[in-house]
Amino acid sequence: MRVILHAGFHKTGTTTLQQALHRNRRTLDAHLRLVPRDRMMPAGRSARAWSASRDPLDMALFRYELAEVMVDWDSADPRPLVTSVEDLCGNMPGRHGVESYAAAAPLMIAILEVLSELHPAARPEFYFSTRAPQAWLASVHAQHLRAMRMTESAEDFAERYRRAADLDAVVDDISAALAPLPVHRAALEQSAGRPLGPLAPLLDLLGLPAALLEGLVPHPPANTAPPPDCAAAFLRLNRSDLGEAELRAAKQALLREAG
């Protein structure tokens, strides 16, 4: 059983990829088994928790949630199994005290161990989408402005998380930890210009027929950063003395106006 796990990273086109998979799931069904992101999210939440706490209980829960999903995978099905969940590599840096993707390699090892226990003949491969450091930092900062009470400027955030932005270095660490298993990567800067966008490199790994690929429907970019004026307004709101409920309402109003 071939298993391809797209396990990161945040803000590298992952939402677009996942929505494109869902949109084309019926066409792809004869060629692959898609494990939806929602089905994997209990494990994703546990991965985020462990990346922040490093508590053995959170790691045990992560392994349990993985097993709950993987136990139902049919090893006799000849179709490759594919899933895409960026939270499997832990929290996005800047959340809950997490400053890097240092948790990613241990989490991938745990995934491999649980899969091997349940499906000893499985042939796992890991895939990571990456992004150039400056663009990634800007996108993560914009996401934090919208989703939490981030009060750092883009410049201060970029300086603080500069080392975390080297996503290729994280993939190198994961590759070393999982060797000799295949660990693939593709940069958003290259995939974004392809007809199927961030989904294209993942489909490349599957070697699907060209005629099938031509019939797939592309998905527009999803979960993109707000316009610069909107981001600046989020920062002002986050620095204000508004209560949390008022802050959420003000942000939602801004998003409605911008959208």
pLDDT at 234: 93
Residues 6+ apart with CB under 8 A from 128: 6, 7, 8, 9, 12, 167, 170, 171, 174, 183, 184, 185
Reference 51, options 81, 117, 18, 7; nearest CA is 7
pLDDT at 257: 82
Q: How far is CA 223 from CA 4, 18, 155, 202, in A?
A: 23, 11, 22, 19
pLDDT at 259: 65
What is d(CA 240, CA 27) in angstroms, rounded to the nearest whole number? 49
Percent of the chain at pLDDT > 70 equals 100
Beta strands in the chain (DSSP E): 2-6, 33-35, 81-84, 123-130, 183-187
- Give the CA angle between residues 75, 78, 79 to the nearest 5°: 105
Count of positions (residues) in the chain: 259
Round the average pLDDT of the chain to a whole number and report it: 95
Which neighbouring-strand residues pair with 183?
A: 126
Cβ(87)–Cβ(58) under 8 Å?
no
Longest Cα–Cα distance in the chain = 58
Place of tokens 């499997």: 88
Task: Read off the pLDDT of residues 41-94 as tens digits, 9 standing for 90 and up.
Answer: 999 999 999 999 999 999 999 999 999 999 999 999 999 999 999 999 999 999
Tell me, which fold does domain 2-225 have in CATH? Rossmann fold (3.40.50)
pLDDT at 138: 95
Q: Where are the domains of the chain?
A: 2-225
Task: Read off the pLDDT of residues 226-259 as tens digits, 9 standing for 90 and up.
Answer: 777 888 999 999 999 999 999 999 999 888 887 6
Reference 66, options 1, 104, 115; nearest CA is 115
How many Cβ atoms sit within 10 Å of the Cβ of residue 254? 19
- Collapse the DSSP code of 225 into the 3-class scheme (helix H, G, I; strand E, B; otherwise coil) and give the result: coil
How many Cβ atoms sit within 10 Å of the Cβ of residue 8? 29
